[in-house]
């Protein structure tokens, strides 16, 4: 499939006709304009695409680590050369700022292409296993990581490069071929990538894209050898259940409700800057966004005042030139309704809106950066994923209460604690039920691709990044090699009384009760 064979760029709003023709209209959420149409790929075409990827896999694997790393680097060069088109597409389909497109999507993808190319040979090297069993004396045992075959990557709409393509990169570096199913809300950037892989000479079928909605994703689950899914917890559970039918391995990166704890000895200016940055960035549409804050009573008023002041100064609007706005649009139409519902529910139960609290009228889909106080855990905004530019702040007695409330969640993705006492911060981080925790920081931990990133509870299964982030795309094979073996080993037939006794004595000698010294 050529890169843009199934995309038709347009500026004419004609969504209904496109849907009737089995196509999906792609909207610019900041302007309301339809910017393209893509295929709603049916199940039989998904199966055919996976088949094509299956045929391409042995050749791709045969290139070896070095050959594949070279291709990944070529693709990185193509991305940098074509950065304007890539960023424009990310901004147009996501409604995000140019800075978010550049740093959180494109930069990450470029870094990742080099990282996995370099690290794959180390993380997937054969591992020698030492065993103490006397029955294995003289035998060599090692574990080898073998690519699974065709990996299906299903992604969300908030980071088309980082969270769809980003997961394809280690799968490719390991020697798999990949079929990506980007979100139907933001499919255009991933289609552009297919143009890139063709331009730099990836063999056909190594990395391809099927566009479509849930049915297309489900068809991918039905056909591939491994599924990497990023999206909501609700869909993640469906994917897991469907994959169970064929016992297809699954890795899930799901939703979050990440807490921020601010202790009274914290650098309040830094904590407030971090709170605003990582609750409002990309309109809060980040799985590891700060979604709730717990602040110790003595510094609560000062922290809230500082956050409110900073939020008031944020510039929101349709992204234009670099540096023109801080906050862009809400990408996904139903998401703005969830945000409105959470704020309404909080206000109905007694919360106070200190800034924001409304949808912005006009073309495009925007929700004002919002700060809530007077919140508690009876409110949806403190318990369910909001995924919008909303920061509820709750006053707590002390660190223990903060930890208890932070852990009162079905999610466990990221978390942060701010204190000048780093040892105390670390000990609090260790008590948080989350896959990842930062002390005096937030979100930036995602860039540490050497370290595993994943969620506990309903935030996911498995990890990305680190050795496990590429081994998950491989099956393990344990190989035992006997070079110099006797014709007959002592454990072989026929069973003999003398040997039986010998093994029994050996067992007592090794693990039996020790004789007391006289």
Could you tell me the two tokens for 395?
């006053």
CB of 231 to ligand NAD, least distance (A): 3
Cα gap 340→330, rounded to integer Å:
12
The string of DSSP letters for 92-119 reads: HHH---HHIIIIIIIIHHHHHHHHHHHH
Stretch that binds ligand NAD, among 154-162, 345-353, 424-432, 484-492 (CB under 6 A): 154-162
Residue 157 binds to ligand NAD (criterion: CB under 6 A): yes
**Residue 469: how many other CB atoms lie within 10 Å:** 26
Q: Site for ligand NAD (CB under 6 A): which residue of 29, 94, 156, 284?
A: 156
> Could you tell me the end-to-end alpha-carbon distance of the chain, in angstroms, rounded to an integer?
82
CB of 78 or CB of 159, closer to ligand NAD: 159
88's enclosing H/E stretch is helix 83-94
Q: How far is the CB of 334 from ligand NAD (least distance, A)?
A: 8
Q: Which residue is nearest to ligand NAD (CB)?
A: 217
Number of residues that bind ligand NAD (CB under 6 A): 32
Q: Which of residues 287-306 bind ligand NAD (CB under 6 A)?
A: 287
Using CB under 6 A as the binding rule, the residues of this chain from 124 to 143 that contact ligand NAD are none
Closer Cβ to ligand NAD, 15 or 462, answer by number: 462
One of 49, 99, 253, 385 is an active-site residue; which one? 253
Give the separation between CA 74 and CA 69, rounded to whole angstroms: 9
- Cα separation, 155 vs 159, whole angstroms: 8
Helix (H, G, I), strand (E, B) or coil at 10: coil
Please identify, using beta-carbon distances, which residue of 108 and 332 lies nearer to ligand NAD: 332
Considering the complex, state which of residue 156 and residue 259 has its C-beta at the smaller distance from ligand NAD: 156
Q: What mask of x and - would describe binding to ligand NAD in positions 261 to 290, judged by CB under 6 A?
A: --------------------------x---
State the Cα–Cα distance between residues 499 and 502, nearest whole angstrom: 5
The least distance separating ligand NAD from the CB of residue 239, rounded to whole angstroms, comes to 5
Nearer to ligand NAD, 100 or 184 (CB): 184
HSE-CB of 110 using CA atoms within 13 angstroms: 17
CB of 194 to ligand NAD, least distance (A): 16
Nearer to ligand NAD, 413 or 429 (CB): 413
Handedness of CA 217, 223, 224, 227 (dihedral sign): positive
DSSP per position, 385-453: ---SSEEEEEEESSHHHHHHHHTSSSEES--EEE-S-HHHHHHHHHHS-SS--EES--SGGGG-TTS-E
Shortest distance in whole angstroms from residue 157 CB to ligand NAD: 5
Q: Which of 145, 202, 332, 473 binds ligand NAD (CB under 6 A)?
A: 332
287 is catalytic: yes
Report 346-405 residues binding ligand NAD (CB under 6 A). 385, 387
Quick note: the x/- pattern for ligand NAD over 192-221, rule CB under 6 A, is ---------------------xx--xx--x
Given 28, 31, 158, 306, the residue binding ligand NAD (CB under 6 A): 158
Out of 99, 184, 258, 384, point to the residue binding ligand NAD (CB under 6 A): 184
Q: What does the block give as tokens for 440?
A: 């005096």
Q: Give the nearest distance from C-beta 465 to ligand NAD in angstroms.
A: 10
Contacts of 243 (CB under 8 A, 6+ apart): 221, 227, 249, 250
* Residue 455 CB, nearest approach to ligand NAD (Å): 6
Give the per-residue contact string, 428-467, with ligand NAD (x = CB under 6 A; - = no): ---------------------------x----x-------
Do strands 352-355 and 250-253 pair parallel, antiparallel, or not at all (unpaired)? unpaired
Using alpha carbons, list the distances in angstroms from residue 78 to 72, 73, 106, 195, 354: 10, 9, 12, 10, 46
Exactly one of 192, 243, 254, 394 binds ligand NAD (CB under 6 A); which one?
254
Smallest gap from residue 371 Cβ to ligand NAD (A) = 21
User: Annotated catalytic, 474?
Assistant: no
- Please give the backbone phi and psi of residue 413, each rounded to the nearest 5 degrees, phi first: -100, -85
Collapse the DSSP code of 8 into the 3-class scheme (helix H, G, I; strand E, B; otherwise coil) and give the result.
strand
Q: Does 226 bind ligand NAD (CB under 6 A)?
A: no
Residue (263 or 434) nearer to ligand NAD, CB? 434
**Binding status of residue 232 toward ligand NAD by CB under 6 A:** yes
- Minimum CB separation of residue 456 from ligand NAD in Å reads 11
Taking alpha carbons only, the member of 480, 511, 391 closest to residue 144 is: 480
- Check residue 469 for interaction with ligand NAD (CB under 6 A): no
Catalytic residue among 110, 287, 438, 443: 287
Distances (CA, A) of 366 to 13, 31, 33, 341, 390: 20, 10, 14, 15, 12
The two tokens of residue 85 are 């088109």
- Of 261, 249, 230, nearest to 424 by C-alpha is 261
Residues annotated catalytic, as ranges:
253, 287
Q: Which residues bind ligand NAD (CB under 6 A)?
A: 154-159, 163, 181, 183-184, 213-214, 217-218, 221, 230-232, 235, 238-239, 253-256, 287, 332, 385, 387, 413, 455, 460
């Amino acid at each position: 499939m050529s890169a843009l064979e199934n995309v038709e760029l347009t500026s004419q709003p004609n969504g209904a006709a496109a849907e009737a023709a089995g196509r999906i209209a792609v909207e610019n959420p900041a302007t309301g304009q339809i910017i393209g149409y893509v295929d709603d790929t049916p199940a039989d075409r998904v199966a055919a695409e996976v088949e094509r990827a299956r045929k391409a896999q042995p050749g791709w694997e045969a290139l070896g680590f070095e050959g594949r790393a070279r291709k990944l680097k070529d693709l990185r060069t193509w991305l940098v050369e074509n950065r304007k088109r890539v960023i424009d597409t990310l901004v147009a389909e996501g409604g995000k700022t140019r800075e978010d497109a550049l740093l959180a999507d494109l930069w990450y993808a470029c870094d990742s292409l080099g990282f996995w190319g370099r690290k794959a040979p180390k993380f997937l090297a054969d591992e020698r296993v030492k065993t103490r069993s006397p029955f294995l004396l003289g035998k060599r045992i090692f574990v080898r990581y073998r690519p699974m075959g065709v990996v299906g990557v299903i992604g969300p709409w908030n980071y088309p490069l980082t969270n769809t393509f980003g997961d394809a990169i280690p799968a490719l570096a390991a020697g798999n071929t990949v079929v990506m199913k980007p979100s139907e809300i933001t499919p255009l950037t991933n289609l552009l990538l297919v143009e890139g892989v063709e331009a730099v000479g990836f063999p056909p079928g190594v990395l391809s894209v099927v566009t479509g909605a849930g049915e297309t994703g489900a068809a991918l689950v039905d056909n591939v050898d491994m599924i990497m899914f990023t999206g909501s917890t609700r869909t993640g559970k469906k994917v897991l259940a469907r994959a169970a039918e064929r016992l297809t391995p699954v890795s899930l990166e799901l939703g979050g409700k990440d807490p921020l704890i601010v202790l009274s000895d914290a650098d309040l200016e830094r904590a407030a800057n971090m709170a605003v940055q990582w609750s409002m960035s990309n309109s809060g549409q980040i799985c590891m966004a700060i979604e709730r804050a717990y602040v110790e009573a003595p510094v609560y008023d000062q922290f809230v005042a500082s956050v409110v002041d900073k939020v008031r100064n944020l510039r929101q609007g349709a992204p234009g030139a670099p540096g023109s706005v801080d906050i862009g649009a809400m990408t996904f139409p139903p998401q703005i309704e969830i945000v409105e519902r959470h704020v309404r529910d909080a206000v109905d139960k007694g919360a106070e809106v200190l800034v924001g609290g409304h949808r912005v009228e006009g073309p495009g889909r925007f929700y004002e950066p919002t700060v809530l106080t007077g919140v508690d855990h009876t409110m949806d905004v403190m318990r369910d994923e909001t995924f919008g530019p909303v920061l509820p702040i709750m006053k707590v007695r002390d660190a223990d209460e903060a930890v208890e409330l932070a852990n009162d969640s079905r999610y466990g993705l990221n978390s942060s604690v701010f204190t000048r006492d780093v040892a105390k911060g670390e000990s609090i981080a260790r008590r948080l039920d989350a896959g990842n925790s930062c002390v005096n920081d937030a979100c930036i931990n995602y860039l540490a691709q050497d370290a595993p990133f994943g969620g506990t509870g309903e935030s996911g299964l498995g990890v990305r990044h680190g050795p496990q982030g590429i081994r998950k795309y491989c099956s393990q094979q344990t190989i035992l090699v006997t070079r110099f073996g006797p014709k007959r080993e002592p454990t072989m037939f026929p069973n003999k009384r003398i040997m039986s006794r010998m093994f029994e004595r050996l067992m007592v000698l090794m693990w039996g009760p020790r004789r007391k010294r006289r």
